[in-house]
């Protein structure tokens, strides 16, 4: 009854606070590059940095605190940078790949744009960041798979000379490394026997790593950070429990010393530790609507409270701080705004806006994202989100065209907040349904494990049950329902029109898996050590052939009659282009309507702005044709993009 009252109150608030309609906005409004994003602050607090478009590509700019002038320090024209961070007070490091191949390479440049260096620019080699070593200006620890494409060795990198020093050779099964507060490599996370995970530990770099805990990959321990004296660790673990807990643990034995925090409904999402104060400050978890924090430190809780008072009504996130923790970069957003970055000064208790991510978007023209839940056919509770066109509420939304949008992963989750795709579709008059089907992360171990080996089965039923829930509420017009998703969501799209060909009026598959056999055979080389885990989570092609065949859309194309748009990046390392090729070929051989867009300079998802525009332009025309009966001008997909 309480939930019904909450939903009713939300509906009443929506009626009172939202306009009756919103103007149709240009597609580019939702998908153009942000003017400024990814703000960070220098360790000394004198400068902040951000990414902004230059030549239609996201590049790095640096600006002195208090100044209005910014300096662009990178000049990438081919592709957006993948990410960046401060190495020290005067130098920034960044990562980029080639055409979406996800072989990220490390580069560096001074904050005035001088002394550019390529540190790991080896074709086909991927770089990972193990520890930036904030306390040591000239050094950091990275991992690369240059020796063996399947595994990553740790190196200490000298940023002045570019020299790499091998810290230890990966024996072949280590998937991750961890350092202590002094930057010493102390922990290795390995996969042994295919499906077991193992923590290996050493007291100092002079010792060999030794196993201290071996578990099945379904349960485990992750060291969040060492205690200030580097003797114990704060660990997130689900050993002997369903939901993650934060515990104090002895890393030499993995013995739990104290349970510090756990939540009955959701897994933990993050830990806040102060390098300056050398103490644990708080922990957070993501609920149905936003993030909740629990503070161990009273002053930290009060500090965050002061930040919230400056930005009431918005979801806050601390992006980073200077070394002295005197200044913080804060993000504030909601479901109806892409958000803004601020700089918070602790001493003066002032919050100064740095930039809006999308200043051209008006909050009153955006739709609310409503947290909803429904019950699957076997009684499983499914949380989700419903975005209705502006002016529509749970009370007055009737017989709307709907786009069902299952998330990727599948070991990920949908979250409450600003979603440009959902806003774009709502602006075009569609209701958008997203759901955290079984297997979604953040809901505990049991909820994840009941999805193992259930691709296209119970996982798909959760999606279908959400559609039927929406029909039962009278919100969805049963004749005008589409399904669209990317990655695993693309697979769910294809499987949806295989299992329920009469449920969907049309479908869009974006970099989705179509054949579980070929998918498992073409994963990136650095996923190979995890293949036995993949077999358990997805299916074993040797012992479960019938199940995998039944749930591979490309092998069941004879059941599909739904109009389909397939979108793919040619360099996708996760979902090989053959996944889309074989799906399209199988359907075209039967005369089923299918349009195909391929971008030769993209990978797993489109990052370049002009490619995004092409995709969403095609999406708009496709849905307009099949859900609204609007005949597009010309082809759905430009001939140059067809394959």
Catalytic residues: 487, 572, 604
Query: What's the first-to-final CA gap in the chain, in angstroms?
Result: 53
Dmax (CA) for the chain in angstroms is 70
Both tokens of residue 528?
Answer: 């190979």
| Contact by Cβ (8 Å): 606, 618 | no
| Contact by Cβ (8 Å): 249, 232 | yes
Closest-CA residue to 326 (of 353, 345, 302, 309): 345
Q: Could you tell me the sign of the dihedral formed by the alpha carbons of 518, 524, 529, 534, in that order?
A: negative
Residues forming a β-bridge with 345: 327, 350
**DSSP H or E run through 329:** strand 327-333
- CA separation for the pair 103, 100 (Å, rounded): 8
Count Cβ atoms within 10 A of the Cβ of residue 26 and give its class: 0-12 exposed, 13-18 middle, 19 or more buried.
Answer: exposed
Both tokens of residue 336?
Answer: 């109806």
Both tokens of residue 612?
Answer: 């995004």
Residue 596: φ, ψ to 5°? -135, 120
- CA separation for the pair 321, 48 (Å, rounded): 10
| Contact by Cβ (8 Å): 90, 83 | no
Supply the DSSP symbol for 429.
T
The counts of H helices and E strands in the chain are: 12, 35
- CA separation for the pair 384, 370 (Å, rounded): 8
Closest-CA residue to 315 (of 348, 288, 347, 297): 288
Tell me how long the chain is.
643
Q: Give the neighbor-by-neighbor strand order of the sheet with 327-333.
A: 315-321, 327-333, 340-345, 350-356
Distance of CA 495 to the CA centre of its chain: 23
User: Which runs of consecutive H residues, i.e. helices, occur in 458-568?
Assistant: 458-472, 488-499, 516-521, 531-537, 545-550
């Amino acid at each position: 009854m309480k939930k019904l009252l909450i939903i009713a109150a939300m509906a009443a608030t929506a009626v009172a606070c939202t306009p009756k309609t919103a103007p149709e906005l240009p597609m580019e409004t939702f998908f153009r590059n942000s003017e400024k994003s990814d703000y960070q602050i220098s360790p000394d607090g004198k400068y902040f940095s951000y990414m902004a478009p230059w030549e239609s590509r996201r590049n790095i700019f640096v600006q002195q605190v208090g100044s209005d002038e910014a300096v662009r320090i990178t000049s990438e024209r081919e592709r957006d940078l993948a990410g960046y961070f401060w190495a020290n007070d005067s130098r920034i490091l960044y990562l980029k790949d080639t055409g979406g191949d996800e072989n990220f390479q490390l580069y560096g440049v001074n904050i005035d744009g001088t002394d550019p260096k390529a540190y790991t620019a080896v074709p086909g080699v991927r770089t990972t960041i193990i520890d930036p070593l904030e306390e040591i200006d000239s050094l950091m620890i990275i991992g690369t798979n240059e020796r063996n494409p399947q595994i990553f060795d740790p190196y200490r990198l000298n940023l002045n000379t570019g020299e790499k020093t091998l810290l230890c050779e990966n024996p072949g099964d280590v998937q991750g490394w961890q350092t202590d507060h002094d930057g010493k490599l102390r922990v290795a996370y390995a996969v042994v026997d295919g499906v077991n995970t193992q923590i290996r530990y050493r007291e100092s770099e002079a010792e060999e790593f030794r196993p201290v805990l071996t578990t099945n990959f379904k349960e485990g321990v992750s060291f969040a950070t060492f205690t200030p004296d580097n003797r114990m660790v704060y660990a997130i673990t689900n050993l002997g429990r369903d939901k993650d807990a934060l515990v104090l643990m002895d890393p030499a034995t993995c013995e739990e010393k104290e349970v510090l925090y756990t939540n009955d409904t959701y897994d933990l999402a993050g830990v806040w530790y102060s390098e300056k104060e050398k103490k644990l400050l708080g922990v957070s978890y993501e609920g149905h609507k936003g993030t909740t924090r629990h503070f161990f430190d009273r002053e930290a809780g009060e500090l965050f409270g002061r930040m919230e008072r400056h930005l009431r009504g918005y979801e806050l996130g601390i992006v980073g701080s200077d070394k002295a923790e005197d200044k913080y970069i804060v993000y504030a957003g909601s479901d109806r705004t892409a958000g803004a970055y601020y700089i918070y000064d602790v001493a003066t208790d002032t919050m100064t806006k740095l930039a809006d991510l999308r200043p051209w978007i008006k909050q009153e023209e955006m739709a609310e994202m409503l947290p909803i839940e429904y019950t699957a056919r076997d009684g499983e509770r499914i949380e989700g989100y419903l975005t209705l066109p502006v002016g529509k509420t749970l009370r007055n939304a009737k017989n709307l065209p709907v786009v069902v949008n299952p998330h990727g992963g599948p070991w990920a989750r949908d979250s409450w907040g600003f979603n440009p795709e959902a806003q774009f579709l709502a602006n075009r008059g569609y209701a958008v349904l997203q759901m955290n089907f079984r297997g979604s992360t953040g809901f505990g171990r049991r909820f994840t494990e009941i999805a193992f080996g259930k691709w296209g089965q119970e996982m798909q039923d959760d999606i279908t049950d959400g559609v039927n829930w929406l029909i039962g509420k009278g919100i969805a017009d049963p004749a005008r329902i589409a399904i669209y998703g990317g990655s695993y969501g693309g697979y769910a799209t294809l499987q949806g029109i295989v299992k329920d060909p009469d449920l969907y009026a049309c479908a869009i598959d974006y970099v989705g898996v179509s054949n579980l056999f070929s998918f498992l055979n073409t994963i990136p080389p650095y996923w190979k050590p995890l293949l036995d885990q993949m077999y358990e989570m997805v299916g074993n092609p040797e012992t479960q052939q019938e199940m995998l065949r039944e749930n591979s859309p490309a092998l069941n194309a004879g059941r599909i009659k739904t109009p389909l748009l397939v979108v793919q990046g040619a360099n996708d390392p996760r979902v090989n282009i053959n996944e889309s090729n074989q799906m399209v070929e199988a359907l075209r051989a039967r005369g089923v309507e299918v349009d195909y867009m391929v971008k030769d300079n993209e990978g797993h998802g489109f990052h370049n702005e002009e490619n995004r525009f092409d995709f969403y332009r095609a999406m708009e025309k496709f849905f307009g044709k099949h859900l609204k009966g609007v005949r597009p001008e010309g082809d759905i997909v430009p001939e140059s993009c067809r394959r």
